[in-house]
Amino acid sequence: MVPKNDLFSKYESVLNNCELFADLTNSQWQDLLSHFHEEKWKKNTCIINHQKFLFHFYIITKGRIKMYNVDEFSEKEHTLFLLKEADVFDLFCLFDGIKHRVYYECLDNTKVLAIPMDRLRNWLNKNPHQYQHFLTYAGKMMRALESNVSQLIFTNITTRLLKLLLENVNSQSKKLEHINDLPNKEIANLIGSTRAVVNRHLQELKQMGSIKMARNQLEIKDINLLLKELEKQNRNHK
Amino acid sequence: MVPKNDLFSKYESVLNNCELFADLTNSQWQDLLSHFHEEKWKKNTCIINHQKFLFHFYIITKGRIKMYNVDEFSEKEHTLFLLKEADVFDLFCLFDGIKHRVYYECLDNTKVLAIPMDRLRNWLNKNPHQYQHFLTYAGKMMRALESNVSQLIFTNITTRLLKLLLENVNSQSKKLEHINDLPNKEIANLIGSTRAVVNRHLQELKQMGSIKMARNQLEIKDINLLLKELEKQNRNHK
DNA sequence: CTATTTGTGCTACTTAAGTGCTTTTTATCC
DNA sequence: GGATAAAAAGCACTTAAGTAGCACAAATAG
């Protein structure tokens, strides 16, 4: 086990990508991290209504966790956010202290840094200057949610699928990441549709030669074709 | 004109309903309001890309303002929030200082209290204890947006329409408020649909005797019938 | 090595929602 | 009061998306 005060040097590269705590000096990080401990969760771990969860705040240092909603009547799933390295949760609960009725599931073997909610709130009160960053981050999340709403109302499934693909292309390597190893069902959950419909649209993209697919494997073959197709969708939806 | 330092006594009853500034003492209100001035906007005033807007924060003291989005391709509208007395805007911009690409339109003759954004930010820095309330409010907004997303994904138009109606029934008087004088088109914009479809569903509700409608006039006749219909929708969507 | 589960590919069918247009009703403005 | 415009009502048609089902292949567990 790594001593607590080494958490920063251990995860420095990840933590420096953490938007919520931008601008922290090394010593501020050391101070903050002294309240954290490390946890490891196995792939497919599912966290539902766990009381502990309400009272801890997490920074992901490795692996992906999907945060999703289940409709109480249809039992359909919708993935709200696909959280990954340097992402945090749950902000909803941190902000207003009310239980957040969502589910979490680890898509990989995952490592997180954990802190009791009230300790983080105390830290924030002692470092009121940090509130600024939390508000900025809240603004960003609100914008993300708002644009999600707009997409759902204004665009069809093809468009949403194309945007999802394009948003997850690594700008350097031009390779699809984060969602490239997910089954069609999970892709469907991300855009609010069903496996069959998503597959239908993916088949079309495959036939025009813009993507390649295998079991749990998606690859971009021609990003320009995808962009052209997106434009076409926009034009047709006049 | 009312002298500035009288704004509080003038609008005390409204301001005390203002969630964002809950817990302010009278003298704190006086201090805060000294930075505000009053503005009156006529019905149907439309605020688009007005530079001034980016740099001011508003509290509504009278009338309704719809905050809406327009799809750049289809030019369809979607009403994000129907703001009314004691509501504030724009939080998105206050939080992260980035321009918020939305539109505003006054549905009534409107009165607002206005303050330059940076002055409010200064006030917040001087009163860091208030940050807590802003975060709580941000949490609430994020939850509202999230539940909006869920509704769009999980439920059909009938359900969304029924919920809209039920959410706007005054718990005392049992009368429909806020949306009772809107044309079908505006109702449609609120739930992300079209005038024709909304009208089709309203006709059904009318035929079963749960509502009464006339030009720009919606009335609840039997709230229990609406609740029963909502349950039926949920069951059918199993 | 076999049995089971999980994911994909494809077909045929159903349906809610959107579209385009016309008719009717209601408000309001000279 | 009559003309004009706006909102609502109604109808026929199109279509994207959802549904159900099945065959097949790959992964996984026992």
Summarised one tens digit per residue, pLDDT across range B154-211 is 999 999 999 999 999 999 999 999 999 999 999 999 999 999 999 999 999 999 999 9
The overall longest dimension of chain A from CA atoms, in Å, is: 59
Q: What is the pTM of this model?
A: 0.91
pLDDT confidence of residue B238 = 55
How does pLDDT run across A120-138, given as a tens digit for each residue?
Answer: 999 999 999 999 999 999 9
> Is strand C in 7 Å reach of the CB of A196?
yes
Main-chain dihedrals φ then ψ at residue A133, nearest 5 degrees: -70, -35
Please give the sequence-ordered ranges of beta strands (E in DSSP) within B93-210, or none if there are none: 103-106, 110-116
Which of A92, A143, A146 lies at the smallest CB-CB distance from B139? A92
> Is strand D in 7 Å reach of the CB of A183?
no
Main-chain dihedrals φ then ψ at residue B114, nearest 5 degrees: -120, 145
Among residues A72, A68, A47, which one has the least CA distance to residue A186?
A68
List the single range of A37-46, A53-62, A110-119, B46-55 with lowest mean pLDDT.
Answer: B46-55
Please give the sequence-ordered ranges of beta strands (E in DSSP) within B13-109, or none if there are none: 37-41, 46-47, 56-62, 65-70, 77-83, 88-89, 103-106
Which residue's structure tokens are 């449609």?
B188
Q: Give how far the C-alpha of residue A158 lies from the chain's centroid of Cα atoms, to the nearest Å.
A: 21
C-alpha span between B220 and A170 (Å, rounded):
53
CB A161 within 8 A of CB A191: yes
Among residues A230, A28, A14, A214, which one has the least CA distance to residue A126?
A28
> Is strand D in 7 Å reach of the CB of A203?
no
Interchain contact, B91 vs A152, CB within 8 Å: no
Interchain contact, A142 vs B145, CB within 8 Å: yes
Interchain contact, A143 vs B80, CB within 8 Å: no
pLDDT confidence of residue B140 = 94
* Three-state secondary-structure class, residue B66: strand
pLDDT confidence of residue A238 = 56
Residue from B91, B124, B154 to probe the interface with A (highest A Cβ count within 10 Å): B154
Q: What percentage of chain B's residues is helix, strand, coil (to nearest 5)? A: 50, 20, 30
- Residues A76-81 have a mean pLDDT of 96
pLDDT confidence of residue B42 = 87
Interchain contact, B142 vs A138, CB within 8 Å: yes
Which of A74, A92, A100 lies at the smallest CB-CB distance from B238? A74
For residue B100, which residues of chain A lie inside 8 Å, CB to CB? 143
pLDDT confidence of residue A49 = 65
Using the CA of A197, give the nucleotide whose C1' is nearest: D17
- Residues B100-119 have a mean pLDDT of 92
Q: Which nucleotides of C are covered by protein (CB under 7 A)?
A: 6-12, 16-21, 25-27
**Which single residue has its CA nearest the C1' atom of nucleotide D27?**
A215
**Residue B46 pLDDT grade (very low, low, confident, very high; cuts 50, 70, 90):** confident
Among residues A194, A193, A167, A196, which one has the least CA distance to residue A180?
A167
